[in-house]
Chains A and B, each alone.
Chain A
Amino acid sequence: MAQTIRQASGGPEGPIRERKKPLPYPLSLYQTAVGKKYVMALTGVGLLGFVVVHMIGNLHVYEGPAKMAEYAETLRTLGGGLVPRETVLWILRAGLIAMFGLHIHSAYTLKEMSRLSSPSAGFVAGNKKYAGGQEFIAANFASRTMRWTGPIIALYLVFHLADLTWGWVNPDFHHGDPHNNVIESLSNPGIAAIYVVANVALAIHIYHGAWSMFQSLGINNPKINQGRRHLAMGLAGLILVGNLSFPLLTATGVINDDDRECPPGDLVCLEEELLEKEGGHSE
């Protein structure tokens, strides 16, 4: 193995950071980069699960205002009569917030660690720069832009909540009538463009993340190694197609308000419409 003899003329310094005094397990894991990558991967699995379920749930928009409102109401009444309304939903939301927080915190601290280990690394990307340029062979667009797609998704998330959960940026927002809110929002080409850009970023993020998490978790077996890449491609493709269908099909008028019978936000009317339709099916 190569060895470099230290020179008397100003030589290298010691380590660039100290080994941390370990906290009690399992907090000690989170003090190290490998442990942080575990946390990033595990929260990534959880967030990916949320993204997939969210996308599938949103397909209710194709069934019209009444079904969409029923889906939203179902989420709020998860757990049935066993627990107060929205309890389960808030437990799930708390889990999501925690996972987002840990995912972002681990990503930021690891990025900083890499930046401080690399000469002339940029603040956001954290990747080092060779004065003569570096030619990448294996690193793909997705892996090199994780530190860009991540913040894009985080910013989009805030906008998305303000648009369709809180309704702050949606002038025709009616609580409990998501079908109306989605169409009011996405029929604006500027806002639809934000959704398109953010979901492309999300798919790119998933393309690297869903593969990388296997390595970070140490799940490596010749039997599945080929499948890991295929799974990542499949998930990224699924999210891309599913989530882009909403803004694009609204823009082209496939998702529309033409068949709407109830005025926006009239939840009682939506409920009656649903009962009528279901009654119709059973006859």
Chain B
Amino acid sequence: MSNTLNLTLKVWRQDGPNGAGRFESYEANGIADDASFLEMLDVVNERLIEDGQEPITFESDCREGICGTCGIMINGKAHGPQKGTATCQLHMRKFSDGDNITIEPWRAESFPILKDLAVDRSALDHIIEAGGYITVNTGGAPDANLIPVPKEAADMAFDAAACIGCGACVAACPNSAAQLFTSAKLQHMNLLPQGQPERWDRAENMVETMEMFFGSCTNHGECHEACPKEISLDFIAFLNRDYVKAKIKNRKLLGQN
């Protein structure tokens, strides 16, 4: 048996990218405490539609915490109060009856609001386009374990690769810096043998593309706290190291890339 909650929501509503935006209050009564946060919003939206009102626009996809589509500021915290949890995996049992919940979209100059709680995160895609890949000849699948990888490197690369690209790090950062995202995407390649041929180009291009869109890191550590995958700040130090090494290396000579 689950308990039900009566909540008051204060939701950011914005008609479109150029709209002014405002907070509106909604009563969310009779919400089951085993509902997820997004299911709670679904219930509110159904009631809004029944009343002939415009439903609240928010993004979601897999709803199991691995796609990175959902993401909103809940009571001033990216992805809400539970550490290491995406909004879709946050459950209403983390709230109490009678709570006021403030819901806002991610805010950063390069995350323009599309509508209500949905923002355009394609700036993150541009960082990936700048080097978040390896270039290999495709063909038959290589044999497993053909390329030896040290265990520590494999573990670290896997931790970095856990990034789902939701943008919570940018949203939580007081400077709107995308260092945590970029460093995770950079290091998950740079730590592995397959990533070595393009390592220095990748570091240079991804960091410089990131700086076209986002602010500068001041090492607050808010991004790590907000991250649903708990990506470590250590990767930001690796990014700084690899970037400056990439700049120092003399890569003008052919074959020294």
Contact = CB atoms under 8 A, between A and B. Distances in A.
Interface in B202-257: 207-209, 211-222, 224-226, 233-234, 236-244, 247-248
B213 A117 contact: yes
A131 B104 contact: yes
A263 to B, nearest CB: 51
Interface stretch (B30-38, B73-81, B90-98, B192-200): B73-81
B244 A132 contact: no
A19 B224 contact: no
Given A35-B247, A36-B216, A139-B220, A15 B17 contact: no
B77 A113 contact: no
A208 B209 CA distance: 28
Given A10-B18, A218-B244, A132 B76 contact: yes
Contacts of A2: 59, 61, 67-69, 71, 121, 124, 164-167
B212 A19 contact: yes
A97 to B, nearest CB: 24
Given A127-B175, A130-B104, A211-B219, A119 B109 contact: yes
Interface footprint category on B: 35 or more
A3 B71 CA distance: 12
B177 A114 contact: yes
B174 A220 contact: no
Contact of B17 (A11, A115, A214): A11
Contacts of B63: none
A220 B112 contact: no
B23 A15 contact: no
Contact of A4 (B119, B219, B220, B248): B119
A270 B241 CA distance: 52
A135 interface: yes
B122 A117 contact: no
A117 B109 contact: yes
B17 to A, nearest CB: 5
Interface stretch (A26-34, A165-173, A250-258): A26-34
Contacts of B122: 3-4, 6, 12
B99 interface: no
A29 B121 contact: no
B219 A131 contact: no
Which one of B110, B128, B239 has the highest number of Cβ atoms from chain A below 10 Å of its Cβ? Answer: B110
Given A4-B114, A114-B177, A119 B107 contact: yes
Interface string B92-131: 0000000000111001111010100011111111101000
A117 B175 CA distance: 7
Contacts of B104: 130-132
23 contacts: A1-B68, A2-B67, A2-B164, A12-B17, A12-B122, A15-B126, A15-B212, A17-B211, A19-B209, A32-B243, A37-B217, A114-B174, A118-B174, A126-B175, A128-B176, A132-B10, A134-B174, A135-B75, A139-B220, A215-B219, A216-B240, A217-B240, A220-B238
